[in-house]
Structure 1
Amino acid sequence: MRFDIGQDQPRDVPVQVPARNEQHDPHHDKEADEDLRPGAVERQEERKRESAHCGNIPVRWDEDTSILDCKRCQSQSGEYLSKMVFFLIILASFTYPARGTMQTQTAKGAGNLSARKKWARFFVGALLICSLAACGGGATNGGSPQHSSSSSPSDSGSASAPSGEKKKLTVWFIDTGKRKELIEETIREFMDAHPDVEVVAEQIANDTYKTKLPVAMGGNNPPDIFHSWGGGWLKAFVDAGQVMDVTGKIDADRYLPAALNLATFDGKLYGAPLAMSLTLFFYNKEIFAQYGLEPPTTYDDLLHIIDTLNANGIAPISMANKTKWPGALWFIYLANRLGGSDIFNAAFERRGGTFDDPAYIKAGEMIQDLVDRNAFVTGFNGLDFDTGQSRQFLYTGKAAMELQTSGYLTVVRSEMPDFESKMGIFGFPSVEGGLGKATDLVGGVSPVFSISSKTKYPDEAVELLKALTSKELAQRYVDEAGVVVAVKDVQYNDPFAVQMKEILEQSDFLQPFYDQTLPPEMAELHKDTTQALFGKSMTPEEAARQMEEAAQRLLGK
């Protein structure tokens, strides 16, 4: 089996933080009293600035205790300072002028400055230098200086956690149902095996996540490990320097090349894949049987099914297109079936193809023909997929089928397990006269887990990344969630997973989702124009023209 997907193509386990060590610190009461005096804020900021020069790792100003959290500094600074203060007192006894004997130096145009003030400045400056020397002069065995704390996490390794605390990692993911449970269980097992690490995982709804992660990245507050679909969506973060290079840190041979390619840019690896996502029809077998219908092999067969179901008061196809991407699945498949497997790549890579190709215009016309045939449930452009509005039509027998990604199975098993026995799957049919094959698939990889370049604990993050994309978890995804995975050497027993694997093996081309491949501006335009096609508020020619104009501006002539 071969996947020719082109070059550079994209698509709560809340854990309580352990309580701090509440042992009494003799410095704490003193500092607390200081905080009640005028200038407390300025003094605290000054102490923070001084602590930033420490060469011993870790260095952290602790807001709770108002002390410098550097164990080497705490032990050495007392020793250094006591010796230097004693030395300065002895020096002062010989060099400090007797009271009343100081002479005032006067410069033209300047105010007077007493020798006593000069001495005081010297004394304080000397103390400050001594304190910094005590904090920065520590050496490792053999006398080598400590690494500077300005080193990047991926270069210098993980920092140590503050005293009394665990190393904390955050994980954001979108998987639901059984897949969510398996991820959470894997994280708990990881924490059991790494008692010094605490992991806080947050499951976020798909469309919310697409907004929340970019905001977190832009705000310099990203999760340590995050979900992506690889491809252009991930590459945008890679280009911004926000993703850790894991080349050589994980075993790339454990994953399917077609999946791994979506996390590889300029020969470097920026994530690891867990599961594949295939776009298929999910249908109600009982309704099909009731009206003598079989899964279609040609587009004309599909139109016959639509007309038959409409004639019997059943909505043929359910869809929730409020978030635009469900309708885009139809557009991508129709463009592929009409224009062939290279239609997108030729336009995207600017090698003779365009986004106003006649096949794209025809795909828009076919979408609007489906709308005119009442192929979809009423109000489909305003229904929300994440809240299950489209699935309810299938569960209640009011609609017969829905074109969706393979994660649909996991959601059904979680929401309405009784419906699983009624459900079947089939691929998108061929279009007569088109260049695309009936075996061509639209899909991607989900999730690809990546590590933020800002993580404080890169070593532990890599170990967690391995656990989240392990063969063990992949096997459970297959057995318990019916998912086709991107990990090698996994056995398939779940009936749905076996069928999806067979569909995948029959295909020699996988078209990644457009919105995970295109630059962000074009990706949004693609979804906007597709939704407008379904709403019949834009002509196919206008939609194609807007896409090609954006391509010329963003991708080049």
Structure 2
Amino acid sequence: MRKKPITLAAVGLSLAVAMTGCGGGDAGKTKDAGNASTQTPAANKVKVTVTSWRAEQSEVDLYKKIQAELNKTYPEIELDFKPVKATEYNTSLNVALKTETAADIIHLRPYSGATALADAGYLEPIDGLKGLENFSKDQLIAAQGSDKKQYGVPYMLSSTQILYNKKIFAKYNLQEPKTWDDLMKAAETLKQNKVTPFAFGSKEGWVLSLMHGAIAPQFYGQDFAAKFLKGEAKIDSPEFLKSIEAMNSLAPYFPANFEGLGMEDVRTLFATEQTAMVIDGHFEIASILALNPKLEMDAFAVPPVDPSGKATVSTWVDGSFGINKNSKNKDAAKKVLEFMTTKAYGSLILNNTKSPSPIQGVTTEDPLINKIAKLSSTNAAPYFAVTYLNSGNPTSKATLEGLLQGMYLKKATPKQVVEELQKSVDTWFKPAAAGK
């Protein structure tokens, strides 16, 4: 999956590329679900409709498994999954909401998309829902309104970390770095041995904000986001500038002519073992392995600048599920959302989509994905551009991406990047403190 800038449609829906789930049907479990359902009198059955932009067959198959697991606790609830093609989802949902024909449970676009629907009065607040305590504050804000009420249960996490070639690391006696200095020493060792340290290309803007989101927390600090929201820190502050300077400092370790390389090139360089590392989202792993199934790949979190600090992976919530305020089945829908906060549900998502669940403690049989999932739950830092800079016209996220492209073309200095980005943010952002 490629994360791109999220823009608002007519009712404020956020446009985003949907992640394709991986998984097949489970006839045995589906049959069990049917048996469980038949134990409940038909008169007591409740059909809960669910709509989503994930319309692939794998998603339809996943809902059969979700149905079976749900019926172990709520045998009376029948899920009616109504997927809509991703490119048509926003328009379809807009019409359904305005005509009061929308599904009981709505798959919400993250952050600004969910906020827009909540602010428009289309969603039922779910504050106090059993199980919300299983999610972190950073995860929950993906589905909150401007009133700070909760309107959705986080679905899955996307994460960005450093993937590396185990064979190349072993050849040059390199270990997973414990600090940023260790990472730079490893990059220098590889470069001296004529191995390109990082696969990277700046042709596509979203790749730049993705990488910045991964490494920036080690330079502006774990508390920067909170300070930014309160107006205690700004984009043109010295600490945020350090994160841009860090991006610039990696340029000597990128491939030749990286300014003209896109994500397909980046993926190919790493898959064909022409580079030792890539700072990338977990969603690229399947595509990388498709190019080279024999690739010996592992992952580590971005190491801390301060040896006493904590390594981080950049995470963001890829959608949430909320309740239609005009639903006739709110009680049953709430039960479904409560189920979506459980480890049983989280395990289904992780094992079938290969995407980390925001619910801690779930595991998969894939050791690499399991490792990334664990890092996502224990070493998470928010993807700053997606979470906090996705407003404005153009969005400040898009502005950051363009400025970073200019920096790598030597048309802008890091200082100019933060100054111009601050101007973009000033057009729409009002710190929380300003309203007090």
TM-score (norm 2): 0.69
Amino acid at match of 1:487: I
Matching residue within 417, 427, 435 for 1:553: 427
Gap change, CA 1:190 and 1:278, over 3 Å in 2? closer
Number of aligned residue pairs = 374
Distance 1:323 1:453 in 2: 39
Gap change, CA 1:484 and 1:538, over 3 Å in 2? same
Deviation at 1:402, TM superposition (A): 1.4
Match of 2:372 in 1: 500
Amino acid at match of 1:303: M
Distance 1:450 1:536 in 2: 45
Gap change, CA 1:468 and 1:501, over 3 Å in 2? closer
Match of 2:247 in 1: 367
Deviation at 1:451, TM superposition (A): 4.7
Distance 2:169 2:274 in 1: 13
The aligned runs of 1:433-444 (5 Å cut-off) are 437-444=309-316
Q: Does 1:484 align with 2:360?
A: no
CA-to-partner distance for each residue in 1:236-270, whole Å, 9 max, x for gaps? 3322334443446x533573244335434445321
Q: Does 1:518 align with 2:389?
A: yes
Distance 1:228 1:169 in 2: 11
Q: Tell me, yes or no, if the aligned pair for 1:275 and 1:445 is still in contact at 8 Å.
A: yes
The aligned runs of 1:97-496 (5 Å cut-off) are 170-173=51-54, 181=58, 183-188=59-64, 198-202=80-84, 204=86, 224=103, 227-228=107-108, 230-247=110-127, 251-253=130-132, 255-258=134-137, 259-265=139-145, 266=147, 268-319=149-200, 321-351=202-232, 353-371=233-251, 373-376=252-255, 378-379=257-258, 382-384=261-263, 388-409=264-285, 411-412=287-288, 415=290, 418-419=293-294, 422-431=296-305, 437-451=309-323, 471-479=343-351, 483-487=355-359, 490=362, 494-496=366-368
Q: Tell me, yes or no, if the aligned pair for 2:62 and 2:352 is still in contact at 8 Å.
A: no
Q: Tell me, yes or no, if the aligned pair for 2:134 and 2:341 is still in contact at 8 Å.
A: no
Distance 2:116 2:215 in 1: 28
Other structure's SS at 1:268 match: coil
Gap change, CA 1:312 and 1:466, over 3 Å in 2? same
Gap change, CA 1:220 and 1:232, over 3 Å in 2? same
Amino acid at match of 1:293: L
Deviation at 1:281, TM superposition (A): 0.6
Other structure's SS at 1:283 match: strand
Q: Tell me, yes or no, if the aligned pair for 1:173 and 1:226 is still in contact at 8 Å.
A: no
Match of 2:404 in 1: 530
Q: Tell me, yes or no, if the aligned pair for 1:317 and 1:376 is still in contact at 8 Å.
A: yes
- Structure 1 unaligned runs (5+)? 1-9, 14-165
Q: Tell me, yes or no, if the aligned pair for 1:314 and 1:399 is still in contact at 8 Å.
A: yes
Gap change, CA 1:301 and 1:365, over 3 Å in 2? same
Other structure's SS at 2:299 match: strand
Deviation at 1:298, TM superposition (A): 2.8
Which of these two proteins has the greater Rg computed from alpha carbons?
1
Gap change, CA 1:202 and 1:469, over 3 Å in 2? farther
Deviation at 1:503, TM superposition (A): 3.5
Deviation at 1:395, TM superposition (A): 1.8
Gap change, CA 1:220 and 1:356, over 3 Å in 2? farther
Match of 2:11 in 1: none
Amino acid at match of 1:235: T
Q: Tell me, yes or no, if the aligned pair for 1:256 and 1:487 is still in contact at 8 Å.
A: yes
Deviation at 1:350, TM superposition (A): 0.9
Distance 1:515 1:335 in 2: 13
Q: Tell me, yes or no, if the aligned pair for 1:480 and 1:494 is still in contact at 8 Å.
A: no
Gap change, CA 1:412 and 1:391, over 3 Å in 2? same
Distance 1:453 1:517 in 2: 26
Distance 1:323 1:217 in 2: 29
Gap change, CA 1:425 and 1:349, over 3 Å in 2? same
Gap change, CA 1:200 and 1:531, over 3 Å in 2? farther
Q: Tell me, yes or no, if the aligned pair for 1:331 and 1:530 is still in contact at 8 Å.
A: no
CA-to-partner distance for each residue in 1:25-70, whole Å, 9 max, x for gaps? xxxxxxxxxxxxxxxxxxxxxxxxxxxxxxxxxxxxxxxxxxxxxx
Deviation at 1:426, TM superposition (A): 0.9
Distance 1:199 1:325 in 2: 31
The aligned runs of 1:73-112 (5 Å cut-off) are none
Q: Tell me, yes or no, if the aligned pair for 1:355 and 1:548 is still in contact at 8 Å.
A: yes
Deviation at 1:322, TM superposition (A): 4.7
Distance 1:418 1:431 in 2: 34
Amino acid at match of 1:297: K
Distance 1:220 1:533 in 2: 44
Match of 1:127 in 2: none
TM-score (norm 1): 0.56
Deviation at 1:539, TM superposition (A): 2.2
Other structure's SS at 1:269 match: coil
CA-to-partner distance for each residue in 1:63-100, whole Å, 9 max, x for gaps? xxxxxxxxxxxxxxxxxxxxxxxxxxxxxxxxxxxxxx
Amino acid at match of 1:515: V
Distance 1:219 1:531 in 2: 38
Distance 2:122 2:408 in 1: 36
Distance 2:397 2:336 in 1: 31
Q: Tell me, yes or no, if the aligned pair for 2:131 and 2:341 is still in contact at 8 Å.
A: no
The aligned runs of 1:52-63 (5 Å cut-off) are none
Q: Tell me, yes or no, if the aligned pair for 2:163 and 2:299 is still in contact at 8 Å.
A: yes
Gap change, CA 1:492 and 1:197, over 3 Å in 2? closer
Gap change, CA 1:542 and 1:257, over 3 Å in 2? closer
Gap change, CA 1:494 and 1:464, over 3 Å in 2? same
Q: Tell me, yes or no, if the aligned pair for 2:220 and 2:239 is still in contact at 8 Å.
A: yes
Other structure's SS at 2:427 match: helix
Amino acid at match of 1:400: A
Distance 2:253 2:299 in 1: 22
Q: Tell me, yes or no, if the aligned pair for 1:318 and 1:380 is still in contact at 8 Å.
A: no
